[in-house]
Amino acid sequence: MRRILIVRLGSLGDIVHAIPVVAALRSGMPSAHIDWLVDSRHEDLARLITGIDQRIVLRSEWRWLGFLHVIPQLRRARYDVALDLQGLLKSALLARASGAARVIGFSRESLREPTARLFYTETHDASGARHVIEKNMTLARSLGIAGDTVRFPLEAVASEMPRLVRARLGLAADGEFALINPGAAWPNKRWPAERFGRVAAALHARWKVRTAVLWGPGEEELARKVAAASECAAVAAPPTSVADVVALARDAALLVSGDTGPLHLAAAVGTPIVGVYGPTSPERNGPWRAADVTVSRFAQCGCHHRRRCIEARWCLDDISADEVIDAVERRLTAELHACVSSPEIRATSCSAARAARVRHRRHRAVARAAYGAQHSRWGDCRGLRRSVANLGGRTFGERAGSDTLRAVPLGSTSALCRVAAHGDRLRDCFLACGRRRPRRRVPCD
């Protein structure tokens, strides 16, 4: 088996959920030639996925001419296998038209359009999969790939967007910020802008973290409404490409969003997530990491997987700002706990921690979740000392004198060595590595 075609035309979040299939195939078949057929609207994301040999673009704006243009290109490649990860009649037709000897898709029960089954030579039952990533991985397993590990190989592209966002927020070059994404393609996935604004205000009031509001085509006014309701804690981000969103997510301390593409991009690069879900299930479409938090009304929703609400009462209207703010606190506290207790972090030196991409800006932000409400200054080390002790289950002095605190991420990566070297002298560590820089004042628009 030498040539494999993956068919997943869109959407943005669905493409992200299909990326682990590429990672599994590339790991299990290093010499295979793997191509991806993608809609032109999502070509930018496909170009960020490492492990793909060629991106074949369907020009959907050309309508039926796009099919006539792409099918000869597919047939010339002489694929051995085509995997249809979309399950639509259109995607199944293209997979079959590729001329692949084996055209593999999901069984009828798992298809969005059951007539797509007519174009497959093989089907595999994915009804037992809870998450859509698990569903996609069943097709990788059909080729003898174990698929036990979920990875999202996305290229790190240089982007000026993190610097521009920090400048808009009046932050230093290493200042922490959060992201809010209020938009969505489905109108009934858009939680009210005013409540997103209250979440941004709480992030600044409780954790001293300012927020950039992401927006896509036609959503700039929505972003401005969020900023206006934030008590000057948020600003609308500049226009962004997919690569810009990925770069921002890599630097962000947190992202709060509905079920939409930027949430899944951020989850793929490891950003802590708080998701707001209504007509879609977080168990199926939610963030993959167990530590991420979702606030959901899927069980109460009467419009499952519909683009528009048909009920008298919109399910997302029942989610208050306070409920999401509580979810933010749980997520940030969980991030700190994971950092303190992670065997990977405990066992590594500072250089290895950097190699593992332990980002100290995020750690400073999430550390505030543990003690910021009671101790507003970084210099008050006693409060943080008690918080770390409570999280770790032992006294801070005991932990500081053992290998378990070898690389506790409190401040910066240089602070990790200082904690290991100085043990209980946390004050020295913070004064040397965690001092807050003065911030420029930003006028509220």
DSSP 259-316: SSHHHHHHHHTT--EEEEESSS-HHHHS-SSTT-EEEE-TTT-SSTT-SS--SSS-GG
- Give the pLDDT confidence of 197-221 residue by residue, as tens digits: 999 999 999 999 999 999 999 999 9
* Encoded tokens for 335: 């991030």
DSSP letter, residue 322: H
- Positive or negative, the Cα torsion across 140, 142, 144, 146? positive
Check if the beta carbon of residue 346 is closer than 8 Å to that of residue 309. Answer: no
CA 426 to centroid of chain Cα atoms: 33
Confidence category of residue 427, pLDDT binned at 50, 70, 90: very low
Separation of alpha carbons 138 and 143, rounded Å? 9
Percent of the chain with pLDDT over 70: 75
Read off the pLDDT of each residue in 418-441 and give the average, rounded to a whole number: 40
Please tell me the least confidently modeled range out of 47-51, 115-119, 389-393: 389-393
Strands (E), 22-124: 33-39, 54-58, 81-84, 102-106, 122-124
- Give the pLDDT confidence of 353-386 residue by residue, as tens digits: 433 433 444 555 555 444 444 443 333 443 444 3
Q: Where are the alpha helices (DSSP H) in 77-192?
A: 89-97, 132-141, 161-169
Read off the pLDDT of each residue in 167-193 and give the average, rounded to a whole number: 95
Amino acid type, 206? R
Q: Where are the alpha helices (DSSP H) in 148-219?
A: 161-169, 193-207
Check if the beta carbon of residue 411 is closer than 8 Å to that of residue 363. Answer: yes
Check if the beta carbon of residue 98 is closer than 8 Å to that of residue 21. Answer: no
Separation of alpha carbons 14 and 85, rounded Å? 9
Strands (E), 107-247: 122-124, 177-181, 210-213, 234-236
DSSP lists the bridge partners of residue 55 as: 36
Among 141, 105, 140, 139, smallest CA distance to 122 is for 105
- Positive or negative, the Cα torsion across 174, 177, 183, 185? positive
Amino acid type, 318? D
* Encoded tokens for 148: 């036990």
Read off the pLDDT of each residue in 119-136 and give the average, rounded to a whole number: 94
Separation of alpha carbons 205 and 233, rounded Å? 8
Asked if pLDDT for residue 428 goes beyond 80, the answer is no
Query: What does each C-alpha distance from 113 to 38, 108, 110 come to in angstroms?
Result: 19, 8, 9
Among 381, 420, 415, smallest CA distance to 404 is for 420
Read off the pLDDT of each residue in 265-289 and give the average, rounded to a whole number: 95
Please tell me the least confidently modeled range out of 108-122, 235-249, 281-295, 383-397: 383-397
CA quadruple 48, 49, 52, 54: dihedral, nearest 10: -30
The pLDDT assigned to 147 comes to: 77
Residue 140: left (phi > 0), alpha (psi -120 to 50), or beta?
Answer: alpha
